[in-house]
Each structure stands twice: as structure tokens, then as C-alpha cells.
Amino acid sequence: MLHNHEGKPVPQVTFRIREGNEWASLSTDELFKNKTVVVFSLPGAFTPTCSSTHLPRYNELAPAFVANGVDDILCIAVNDPFVMQEWAKDQEAEHIRLIPDGNGAFTAGMNMLVDKSDLGFGQRSWRYSMLVRDGIVLKQFIEPVVPGDPFEVSDADTMLAYLNPQAVKPDQVALLTREGCPHCARAKDLLSAQGYAYTEIPLGHRQRSRVLGAITGRATVPQVFINGTHVGGAEELEQWLQRQHATTMA
């Protein structure tokens, strides 16, 4: 039976982890004492929702969490240390600390351990998130108990909105580029100079024209997208950045 843990201390356990090629131990106090920590827990590393949405969005919003007083973001799953170590390498997880609850002790102490034997998983964590301050759970978002793998309330955006409904989220920036393109290099320099983190999508010669035509209706690179809006090439990006600067200074 799942229980809300708000107002209670997190379980006192010792996690066994891997640091490089060595075994190490990590206590609950080391993770939570005198800190404000966001935790999200999920059924398993490398599983679809966990890998495609749950973890990446927390990583993406990490700067906004830090700006709103969060010291650490932890992902806890009932997986062994080797699996969690490899999952961290596979994911965009540079801002997240992945904690292996291999024996399920922490998850059981949170009353979040569930039986997923029907999937061949055995005992795993129910999906939830929580805000913990100095070891006390201030807020917990628990997914509804319905069949399947619900993902409605434990997401990063819901947690950030709880912390600060007016929180400024990082811009989402993507560039379609090709190797050796000087205009692409210019676009990346412009974005870096203004502090924009971006994702580069390099296109090979064989698929470039079709991809560009299908997505942008254009035939040249770079093509820049910011927060779902097609900005255009390097010159258009420069003009867009100038307008943003003028608006900020007004």
C-alpha cells in the first residue's frame, strides 16, 4: 500500500554505490542533511518513460531548480549500482545524481515498493517525486494507482511549479547543421556568447536536403529553433538575439 510521506524524515539507509571502479557507501545523511533536495524515483533504468522523459527533463530544468534554492537532484531506482552507473553514461544526466537502491531498502522505507513481477521486474519503486529539506519530506507527488506506468504528477515541470510558479525555465535551442559549415559555426558562437545552451543536430549530405525541406522549407544550414519557434539561419539568429537584448534592456 502506497503512503504519502510528507512531514516525515526520509528512511535512514546506506546505499552501496560505485565510484569509478571501486565500491563505496553513501548514507542518507550524506545525501540530505542540511540540504534542500529534489528526488524523483522510477521503476527502472533504461525503461522507456524513465529514459525518454522523466530523467532528461529533470536534467534540463536543473539550472532552474538551483536558481530556486535546490542543492541537489537525485534519481533513486531499485537497480544495482552497475546498471545505474551505465544508465548515467547513456543519459543526459550531468546535473543529476543517480542513486542505486539495489536492495529496495530506501524505497520500502518510503512505502513505495511495489511488485512488478508481471513484467519480470520483481520488486521496484512506484513512480513519485518529493522535495526534501534537511531530511524531512516537505512535498510528495505520487502517481495515481492505475494499471500500467502512470506519469502525470512526478515530472520535473510539476515540481518546479510547486517550488515557484513563476520560475524561469531554460530556453530549448536546437540547430540543424552540417560539418564544415562556417555559418553554422557563426550561429553556435552567437548562441554561446549570449549564454544559450543548444543541441546540435548534424545532417549528413545524403539526407540534408530532404530533412531541411521537410522541417523548415529551406535548403541551407544552419536552421535554428528556439522554444518551438523556427528562427532561421545565422543572420536571422543574430537579429533575433538583438531583439531579445533590446527587450531585456527596455
Sign of the dihedral through C-alpha 116, 119, 122, 126? negative
Are residues 181 and 202 in contact, defined by beta-carbon separation less than 8 angstroms? no
Alpha-carbon 69 to chain mean position: 17
- Please classify residue 201 by burial: count the beta carbons closer than 10 Å to its beta carbon, then call 0-12 exposed, 13-18 middle and 19+ buried: middle
> Of 117, 118, 110, which is closest to residue 41 (Cα–Cα)?
110
Q: Is 75 a catalytic residue?
A: no
DSSP 54: I
Q: Which of 50, 75, 181, 184 is catalytic?
A: 50
What gap in Å lies between CA 47 and CA 5, rounded to an integer?
26
What gap in Å lies between CA 36 and CA 131, rounded to an integer?
7
What gap in Å lies between CA 100 and CA 17, rounded to an integer?
7
Helix (H) or strand (E) holding 174: strand 173-177
Give the alpha-carbon dihedral of 152, 158, 162, 167, to 10 degrees: -170
C-alpha cell read off for 158: 510539476
Could you give the 3-state DSSP secondary structure of residue 103? coil
**Catalytic residue numbers, as ranges:** 50
